[in-house]
Amino acid sequence: MKTILIASDHAGFTLKAKLKAYLEKTGFKAKDLGTYSQDSCDYPVFASRLSEQISKGKYKQGILICKSGIGNSIVANRFPGVRAALCYNIKAARLSREHNDSNVLVLGSGFVDTAQAKKIVRAWLETGFQGGRHLRRLNCIKNIEDKIRSGKK
């Protein structure tokens, strides 16, 4: 059984619970990294918790949810090797996998309802990376990350 990390802040908590159940119903193990209530909290805590595990290679994929998805995207993409894609529709989810090999799906609970979020998640999970010219671009991103880490320009 494939494990998918999932995390949210308070604004994404309800959608996260529904998506966690959906993932488990469709044959995935959803490892919930919080938050565990609708009490106000800080999204960077949960976005970094998930992204660190993806960055270190402990898990292959994750889903982050907050109100807009923007803050989670900003945090997640600071981690080397994390390619977080904020997707508000199915087409964006597919393209994020085909062209960018995204490994973190970011959703905004204020922009997608549960039914749409399930369709986006399904498309994201079922779509593979196309490789080819897109692999060259991913290698460019990796080179940029390596330069930043090493302090070279």
Give 62's strand partners. Answer: 5, 104
List 10, 41, 87, 99, catalytic entry: 99
List 66, 87, 134, 140, catalytic entry: 66
79 and 70 in contact (C-beta within 8 Å)? no
Catalytic residue flag (residue 87): no
Q: How far is CA 153 from the centre of its chain?
A: 29
Neighbouring residues of 64: CB distance < 8 A, sequence distance ≥ 6 = 6, 7, 8, 12, 46, 47, 50, 51, 72, 73, 76, 84, 104, 105, 106, 107
Q: Which of 99, 108, 104, 149 is nearest to 128 (CA)?
A: 99
Catalytic residue flag (residue 99): yes
Which active-site residues does the annotation give?
66, 99
